[in-house]
A = this chain, B = another copy of it.
Amino acid sequence: MGDIMNTYIRKCHYHETDQMGVAHHTSYIKWLEEARIFLMDEIGFSYKRMEEAGVISPIVSITCNYKMPIKFDEKAYITIHVDKYTGAKFLLSYEIRKEDGTLCLTANSSHCFLKNGQVISIRRELKEVDECFLRYIENNND
């Protein structure tokens, strides 16, 4: 984890701050979503394409630990790691750091796959996504 290929970088926008003078705590969670979209691009099957195939991947749970705030115009370096993938669900872990390496947030999330409102196995319903996941995990083994 943490090699450059898996790092999603983005600046904190002004509209993402609140009157505490730092990024609002939900802004980081939006960035984690962006990092997941980025991950799917890395995996080789974009989230958009998966949705167009009728499959969505909603969030089942999320935990965030806030260590240090990110300020307006600062860059967030977001690394994302597939902790577990079963074909029916997957667990991710994340770190957000500043440019100088300061750890700002650690997080975990779990996700399932839905088609027509029903929980499905992507392995059975959209084999190509499953293969992309498996290949990615093999190539990114720690």
Contact = CB atoms under 8 A, between A and B. Distances in A.
Interface string A25-48: 110011001100100000000111
A18 interface: yes
A102 interface: no
A24 interface: yes
Given A19-B18, A29-B26, A73-B48, A34 B59 contact: no
A62 B59 contact: no
B13 A59 contact: no
How many copies of this chain sit in the oligomeric assembly?
Answer: 4
User: Secondary structure at chain A's binding surface: helix, strand, loop or mixed?
Assistant: mixed
A26 B18 contact: no
A17 B14 contact: no
Contact of A65 (B17, B30, B47, B60): B60
